[in-house]
Amino acid sequence: MYQAIVFLPLLGFLIVGLFGTSLGAKASEYITSGLLVISAVLSWVAFFAVGFGEGEVFTVPVLRWIQSGGLEAAWALRIDTLTVVMLVVVNTVSALVHIYSIGYMHHDPNRPRFFAYLSLFTFAMLMLVTADNLVQMFFGWEGVGLASYLLIGFWYKKPSANAAAIKAFIVNRVGDFGFALGIFGVFVLFGSVNLGTIFANAATFIPAEGAPEGAAVLTFLGYALDKQAAMTVVCLLLFMGAMGKSAQVPLHTWLPDAMEGPTPVSALIHAATMVTAGVFMLARLSPLFELSHSALIVVTFIGAFTAFFAATVGLVQNDIKRVIAYSTCSQLGYMFVALGVGAYGAAIFHLFTHAFFKALLFLGSGSVIHAVSDEQDMRRMGGLRTLIPKTYWMMVIGTLALTGVGIPVTVIGTAGFFSKDAIIESAFAAHNPVAGLAFVLLVVAACFTSF
């Protein structure tokens, strides 16, 4: 079942990518969408089996992959609660985007290529979230970056789309450079890239408090680092990768420009796939980040500043898709604050809720743009409630969830209310030195988002 969840999107990509022209647009749409729906249904089955089970962790071997000297990396699927939550998010939103795209892209002559890219994007993200070792995670990480480049620049005859695709690719290379260095550092420190081995050795890696400083274990930029300093540097390098993928300041500039792609692409990038990769990676490698208090302080500060900064920039945007894009930056900042203060459950909870209401907002905005003859400037919109009443109510629901409307100390509220509240509460109660500042910035950002 787990192999089917991961490889059905790849099968769709191969069939449509190789034979899409022969099959025709309709067949290509139905093949890729059908396979994604099956994968999404199986993901929910896995979610209830593992998520509501005993929380066991197990691996599903796929094939022997890399064996070179001390480096051994088998391709296997690591299945635990975190994995199945991400499988549900990625496959469900991707399946909905595929179905939505059948109608949205009906006028485009290159539909087979578009649907092949969507399925490739989904497979790369699934490879990332099921990774049992850091090399496999890196391949999925780069696959997501490649697919995003292809999708953002899908309308390649449009100069602004080409520029946005290149910008996304280059900015992400900056983050990926840090991520690659972080993986090298982990291999030097632990002698393995397998997550099970790394987590087993992480607990005893840092000497007990008061113990004499050990010998240097890593040299970085000419400095010999002991275990504590080395772990901090490695965690910061890994976080640099997350900053690029999840659009944290200062590597956030590619995300609003990614709106040049078709609207379904915006929904997929901003809701379920690319931008959640950095949050997932930090949550997955939390046993390492817990060993470096300094790295967690940096994560908290960057997340809080991004949440505040992106919310302020969003206030002065006029393009409907760019407003939603900056809200994505802001909400990702919330998730990183939760990760920084150790509230990993709250971070993934917000990732889950955000994926669905943000996908709703983007797909709703696509409907609005279609209704007003491809106009994206909100200053030229108005009176649409009578023209598109269903879209109007869907956008209202998505906006209320993004705002986090609810009644405190009750069970009445939107999904965004409960997840944002959990993060703000975690920041308030945390012992992190910058948690107080983060709490204030998050509350202000929430007010800006509501506006």
What's the confidence (pLDDT) of residue 284? 93
Total domains present in the chain? 2
Contact 423, 343 (CB under 8 A): yes
Q: Does 205 lie in the same domain as 104?
A: no
- Mean pLDDT, residues 19-36 taken together: 89
Query: Is the pLDDT assigned to residue 217 strictly greater than 80?
Result: no
Query: Is the pLDDT assigned to residue 126 strictly greater than 80?
Result: yes
Q: Does 277 lie in the same domain as 381?
A: yes
Last residue of a domain, one of 109, 132, 155: 132
Q: Does 151 lie in the same domain as 9?
A: no
Higher pLDDT, 281 or 62: 281
Query: pTM value?
Result: 0.92
Q: Does 227 lie in the same domain as 331?
A: yes
Q: Does 366 lie in the same domain as 270?
A: yes
Q: Does 171 lie in the same domain as 97?
A: no
Last residue of a domain, one of 77, 108, 132: 132
Higher pLDDT, 98 or 379: 98
- Could you report the per-residue pLDDT of 146-165, keeping only the tens digit for each? 998 999 988 888 888 899 99
Q: Does 141 lie in the same domain as 121?
A: no
Range of 31-35, 205-209, 443-447 with top mean pLDDT: 31-35
Query: Is the pLDDT assigned to residue 36 strictly greater than 80?
Result: yes
What percentage of the chain exceeds 90 in pLDDT?
Answer: 41
Q: Does 156 lie in the same domain as 46?
A: no
What's the confidence (pLDDT) of residue 107? 83
Query: Is the pLDDT assigned to residue 309 strictly greater than 70?
Result: yes
- Mean pLDDT, residues 379-391 taken together: 81
What's the confidence (pLDDT) of residue 451? 64
- Mean pLDDT, residues 130-154 taken together: 91
What's the confidence (pLDDT) of residue 209? 55
- Could you report the per-residue pLDDT of 267-280, keeping only the tens digit for each? 888 776 788 899 99
Q: Does 167 lie in the same domain as 97?
A: no
What percentage of the chain exceeds 70 in pLDDT?
Answer: 97
Last residue of a domain, one of 132, 156, 174: 132
- Could you report the per-residue pLDDT of 339-355, keeping only the tens digit for each? 999 899 999 999 999 99
- Mean pLDDT, residues 372-396 taken together: 82
- Could you report the per-residue pLDDT of 47-91, keeping only the tens digit for each? 998 878 777 788 888 888 887 877 888 889 999 999 999 999 999
Q: Does 99 lie in the same domain as 37?
A: yes
What's the confidence (pLDDT) of residue 214? 66
Query: Is the pLDDT assigned to residue 174 strictly greater than 70?
Result: yes
Q: Does 173 lie in the same domain as 104?
A: no
Q: Does 155 lie in the same domain as 53?
A: no
What's the confidence (pLDDT) of residue 59? 85
Q: Which residue range forms the structural domain that includes residue 36?
A: 1-132
